[in-house]
Structure 1
Amino acid sequence: MNLTRQIIALFLFFLITFSVSGQVADTIKVTQFGVKSNSYLNASKGIREAIEKCKGKQNVVIQLPGGRIDLWPEDAVKKEIYISNTTENDTLSKVKNIGFFFDHLKNVTLDGNNTLVVLHGKMISFALFNCQNIEIKNIQFDYERPTISEAAIISVSPSAVKLKIHPDSRYFIEKGKIGFYGEGWKSSSFFTILLDKDKDLMRYASFDPFLNSKATRQENRTVLFEGDFTKTNYKTGDVLSVRDPYRDNCGGFITLSKDIVLSDVKMHFMHGLGIVSQFAENITFSKVIVAPREDFGRVIASFADCFHFSGCKGKILIDGCKTSGSHDDPMNVHGTHLKITEISENKKIKVQFMHHQTYGFEAFFAGDSISFVSPKTLKPIVYGKLKSAILINKKEMELVLEGELSNKVKVGDVIENTTWTPEVTVRNSRFERTNTRGLLLTTRRKILIENNIFYRTGMHAILIANDASGWFESGAVSDVLIRNNTFEECGYNAGPIINIMPENHELTEGYYVHRNIRIVNNTFKIFDKPILSARSTKGLFFSNNTINPSNLPETGTNENSFTLTACKDVVIKNNTFNTSWKTNIAAFEMRKKEVKTDIRNSLNK
């Protein structure tokens, strides 16, 4: 009898489950559309047709065949896209080639079946427009010819250096000069970053000594450069990574979409920028790896940032992820300040995108809440709600408020969209091999950074900024918890390890840009003094952290461990310092009593 009841209960459970989900998922196999594993043929048309088959369906699984498939721009979806932090040069086309294009789809799963998708030319791996409840899982993406060229130094002398060019990097020598090219492109500039493989440190470098030398092709992809190398500090084993700095693409793109999940996704190379989420809601990255394929000898996987979130809302979750080998920051979360250029008599406001890499998309929508902000102080002037918002050209929007416009608002002020601001959690992840920062975070909603490893980020492991004069990346934080992380030898190019640095060029007495930041129970392995710097922050708590010396040579600078400018309610207590130097706290534009500390004789001004 008990067994019968259990069977009936199980049947009812499945019946209810299927009723709730609506229906059993349809499975669409891309092999039905001519896509074949390991054929090295262009699968773009078959992939496009398989995804089009999802239209009108409510619960679909698209299944890839496993092995390797190749995608070329020919037969791929082509779409004009303006992407935050990548849009440059008005004279060039913004049409992108997209491998997997999801448009107005719901409840679709792309099951990669661990397929390696190899992109040719410059392509976006996947793009989601106006989608809901989409999962991309168990898939790998790489470029046949990455747009970053790599070369290892195999011998060095004052008058000659020999490089071994990586097999994935195509090059030519013309009239004694080297150049790099790919599928439909050739480099015109040579932005260079060097990886010191012995120390696993990345630093800015210059390719000029090679460009000013005579290049001679030798066997086994080696090139001899004869010239003046007396002022360089190259050594055998170093790896140079070289690219044209122009950003004209991204690795993946998610926009105007909701409830998106990437799980067990590997991005082995991304051109232009990484995975960009732009005005999207509820994004989860679980076990997303940005790193070169193992045993392929490459060191760089991302042309710039790895995970980029611009103007998102809802919840962003990064869990169990890893980034290794990027030419810029592993993660950036921000909004965008637009500047007021005109206020008409009927109270219409014209605003303009200010940074040359960010424009061309709607940054406001009817019903959004906004904040008018002073660009010099970053202090909110008044708040409002939008009745309408229209993109009138690629650089400008026209806004109309609900209700009256305050006479405190003037041309030159900036506006932040406060509706499109996300809650962010980053946990159980590892960030390594970057010459720049680790996480850039500016959002007014809750931020939790826990149980992560930051390994030798060249600059700040965590940067909390906010500006209306440079990048115009907006967001004053109000609830940040950084706990149980390991910061290992970060900031070797430029410290401190954690930098809270809003770009308010005028301080306002009694106003603080950032608030309520707690840094607790972390382990810092440091080679130099600077640990934390903060400006215009109220409620800064640094406690129960352990600071240990590193294996790198101690720099022993005269800099302070903590630098505070115009802060209030700062607590630096109950930390363990195992370093050989004295720990100092420097405070500027503030009273000493605003700092509570148990570090004896440490507070200077």
Structure 2
Amino acid sequence: MRQIYVKEFGIMPGDEKETTLKLRKMLQEIQKEEKLEIRFEKGIYHFYPDYAGEKLLYISNHDEDTIKKVAFDLSGMKQVKISGTDTQFLFHTDILPFHIDRCREICIEGITIDYARTGYSEGKIVEVTDKKMLLEINREEYPYQVIHGNIFFEEENGIDELYCGCLEMDAKRCAPVWRGQDISFNRPYQSSYGAFFQEAGENLVEISLTGGQKFPETSKSGNILILRHHWRTHPCFYLTDSADVTLRHITIYHCTGMAVISQFTNNITIEQVDIRRHPVKKRMFTATADGFHFVYAGGKIQIKDCLVENQLDDPVNIHGIYGRIHKVLNKKEVIVELVEGMQKGVKLGQPGELFGIIDNRTMLEKERAEVCEVTMLNKDFQYIAFRDEMESLTQGFVVENKSYAPDVLIEGCTFRNNRARGLLLTTAGQVIVRKNRFETPGAAILIEGDSNYWFESGATKYILLEENEFINCAYVPQWGSAPIQVSPSAGIWEEGQRYHQYLEVRKNLFRCFDNRLVYAVNLETLIFQDNKIEKTDQFPPIAGEAFKLDGVLKFQTDYYG
């Protein structure tokens, strides 16, 4: 493997905008070479968007902002390793750090990633009553302006209003508050608070509620309010149509999207990749969305020895996409709609792949066949032609690409203190979750699937949870009914048939502040054996029983509470 030192191309540590241009020229020069190691030496490298290449990208489960500037555009590269030694990459919004597209055998290791100006800000609650809250915001770290009763935050590329709401964090636990909730101000939906912002002194902002609502009872002085003013637009690593990708020995302090998002990529290994709080700046947040997110992955996903903490959505989400049949042209041809806004523009597959037709009411498969054409008409609709005639094509039913069902191994990781849930597992492959530690405010394990709202597929066949620790999980009810939750959204169940097939929970430690262990519906087999249950007094108990089951056909347990 030939080694290339980036200093040979004039890429040096330091704060200069030309670094992005030099990187772009280097990658263009070596783009067709294989068996390369690109080495970055010790230091802080700055990457600005000014001279970066632009690409039209529809990134699943992100807010639609389709023109992206990309720093490391690795499109089409094969057998390439990018490595650093005590190497820090500091990105300047808005820029996509890595796009791995149509690649084979890519390894990235030994780097630390942060942003010069974070996409979120935070403030300390100084005082709070039913109708008023006084926030202390470090104006130097998080520059802001109060204009016409609203607050705006200065970013490197402009100024943004507090669009995306807030999340209150317990200052002592550095985690979402017990029974907390998302808070938003002056947004066009019923649950949003009407509010007036005004300056109240140096680094102080007073929020006065203008409607009939009150601040949550969980709000306390001393807690930290994460202020979400940037849409989720730029993940750290965006993988598309690639295979055999390894991310190893990487630390991510922040990004303005998910840490890793992959689409239609096979064989992904994520090892010792930490999404962690900054050790000096002590920000309460890390990534602005999910940790590791996989849409129509294939082969095997391996996530090992990672710390994933304080990101603003789930640590891991593995799923496909249901496309809704908008119009049936004949027995072979349909127009399919991408309904969920964050899935717009994602092509559902390629000719030769196997698609299933799913009854959206029961979420059960009616039939399947190979597709011979998939054509994007625009970001909303795509034309799909099947090789054989289909008898169950029905407007309102959904299609699912069955050619992507990865096996999954998640081992030796810690997931803690983030917004929402833990692992969202919906793949028909074999799933093993072993020797991990969960401290999540919602369900630590969520096995769902939905064909009417989020349109995230699919049905699972085998999931094993063993030798994990579940520590005081599910303390925010809106994010989970129990530490382990199985809850596909099918409105109708067929006699003797279930959406999810097999879940085994064995040799785990549950340290719980109440009785709840498993909430499960629409599942064929649940085995819960050889687990250790310990009670804690971390939070007041939430009402519920150990096993809340509905429509579970077979249940075995040796725990009776």
Normalising by structure 2, report the TM-score: 0.92
Question: Residue 427 of structure 1: CA displacement?
Answer: 0.6
1:63 to 14, 31, 39: 39
Matched to 1:352, the amino acid is E
Partner residue, 2:409 = 425
Aligned to 1:197: 171
Q: Which of these residues, 111, 120, 129, is aligned with residue 148 of structure 1?
A: 120
Cross-structure match for 1:595: none
Count of aligned pairs? 542
Cα shift at 1:393: 2.0
CA distance, structure 2, for counterparts of residue 201 and residue 160 of structure 1: 20
Q: 2:136 aligns with which of 163, 177, 195?
A: 163
Match of 1:243 in 2: 228
Whether 1:215 and 2:189 are equivalent positions in the alignment is no
CA offsets per residue over residues 80-115 of structure 1, 9 Å max, x none? 100111143xxxx51111121101010000012231
Counterpart of 1:329 (choices 310, 314, 317) is 314
* Residue 225 of structure 1 pairs with residue 225 of structure 2: no
Which of these two proteins has the greater Rg computed from alpha carbons? Answer: 1
CA distance in 2, matches of 1:310, 1:217: 47
Q: 1:190 to 1:108 in 2, by over 3 A?
A: closer
Deviations 1:450-503 (A, max 9, x none): 000001x11111100011001100010001100000000110002311101111
| Residue 153 of structure 2 is aligned to residue 172 of structure 1 | no
Specify the SS of the correspondent of 1:434: coil
Q: 1:362-410 CA distances to partner (integer Å, 9 max, x unpaired)?
A: 21111111211100001110121122222222222222222222x2332
Cα 1:469–1:165 change in 2 (3 A) is same
User: Distance in 2 between the 1:175 and 1:381 partners?
Assistant: 56
Residue deviations 1:25-56 (CA, integer Å, cap 9, x gap)? 12222212222213444410111122223223
Identify the residue that residue 44 of structure 1 maps to in structure 2: 20
Q: Which moved more, 1:484-493 or 1:180-189?
A: 180-189
C-alpha contact (below 8 Å) 1:60/1:109 kept by paired residues: yes
Is the Cα contact below 8 Å between 2:195 and 2:208 reproduced in 1? no
SS at match of 1:32: helix
SS at match of 2:21: helix
Amino acid at match of 2:206: F
Distance in 2, Cα, partners of 1:178 & 1:359: 30
| Residues 345 and 380, structure 2, Cα contact 8 Å, conserved in 1 | yes
Identify which of structures 1 and 2 has the higher relative contact order when contacts are C-alpha pairs closer than 8 Å and 6+ apart. 2
- In the alignment, the residues of structure 2 paired with residue 245 and residue 166 of structure 1 have an alpha-carbon distance, to the nearest angstrom, of 17
Structure 2 residues without counterparts, runs of 5 or longer: 186-192
Letter in 1 for 2:21: K
Retained in 2: the 8 A contact 1:104–1:131? yes
| Structure 2 residue 278 is matched with structure 1 residue 293 | yes
Query: Relative to 1, partners in 2 of residues 1:528 and 1:392: Cα closer, same or farther, differing over 3 Å?
Result: same
Query: Corresponding residue for 1:474?
Result: 457
For 1:313 and 1:190, locate their aligned partners in 2 and report how far apart those are by CA, in whole Å: 33
Deviations 1:559-591 (A, max 9, x none): 222111111111121x4xxxxxxxxxxxxxxxx
Please list every run of 5 or more consecutive structure 1 residues that lacks an aligned counterpart in the other structure. Answer: 1-24, 576-598
Partner amino acid, structure 1, of 2:523:
T
CA distance in 2 between counterparts of 1:231 and 1:411 reads 44
Contact 1:51–1:62 under 8 Å retained in 2: no
Q: Offset at 1:194? A: 0.9
Q: Is the 8 A contact 1:153 1:164 kept in 2?
A: no
Partner of 2:399: 415
Once the two structures are superposed, what CA deviation does each residue of 1:155-194 show, in whole Å capped at 9, x if it has no partner? 5578662414275322123467542120113222250001
Partners in 1 of 2:461 and 2:274 — Cα distance? 30
Distance change in 2, residues 1:32/1:489 (3 Å): same
Q: In the aligned structure 2, how far is the partner of 1:232 from the partner of 1:388?
A: 52
Residue-by-residue CA offset, 1:43-82 (whole Å, 9 max, x unaligned): 1011112222322322101111321011111111211100
More moved, 547-556 vs 94-103: 547-556
- Give 1:124's match in structure 2, choosing from 93, 96, 100: 96
Q: Does residue 1:106 correspond to 2:78, yes or no?
A: yes
1:553 to 512, 535, 539: 539
Whether 1:185 aligns to 2:169 is: no
* Aligned match of 2:425: 441
SS in 2 for 1:568: strand
Instruction: Give how far 1:527 is off.
Output: 1.1
CA deviations 1:264-301 (Å, max 9, x no partner) are 11111111333111110100000001123212121111
Question: Secondary structure at 1:248's aligned position in 2?
Answer: coil
The whole-number CA distance in structure 1 between the counterparts of 2:173 and 2:108 is: 36
Return the match for 1:534 from 495, 514, 520: 520
Question: Once the two structures are superposed, what CA deviation does each residue of 1:509-554 show, in whole Å capped at 9, x if it has no partner?
Answer: 1111111110011111111222101111111101111111123133
| 2:160/2:230 contact within 8 Å kept | no
- Paired AA for residue 181 in structure 1: E
Report the AA paired with residue 204 of structure 2. Answer: V
- For the residue of structure 1 that corresponds to 2:527, the secondary structure is strand
TM-score normalized by structure 1? 0.85
Q: Residues of 1 paired with 2:125 and 2:34: CA distance?
A: 54
| Residues 55, 529 of structure 1: alpha-carbon distance in 2 compared, 3 angstrom cutoff | same
CA distance in 2, matches of 1:379, 1:210: 43
CA separation of 1:572 and 1:185: change in aligned 2, threshold 3 A: farther
- The answer to whether the aligner puts 1:260 opposite 2:234 as a matched pair is no
* Counterpart in the other structure of 2:188: none
2:190 paired residue number:
none
Q: What amino acid sits opposite 2:266 in the alignment?
A: E
Map residues 375-414 of structure 1 onto 2, 5 A cutoff: 375-405=360-390, 407-414=391-398
Q: Secondary structure at the match of 1:150?
A: strand
User: Equivalents in 2 of 1:146, 1:556: separation in Å?
Assistant: 35
Q: How far, CA to CA, are the matches of 1:501 and 1:479 in structure 2? A: 16
**In 2 relative to 1, CA 168–279 (structure 1 residues): closer, same or farther, beyond 3 Å?**
farther
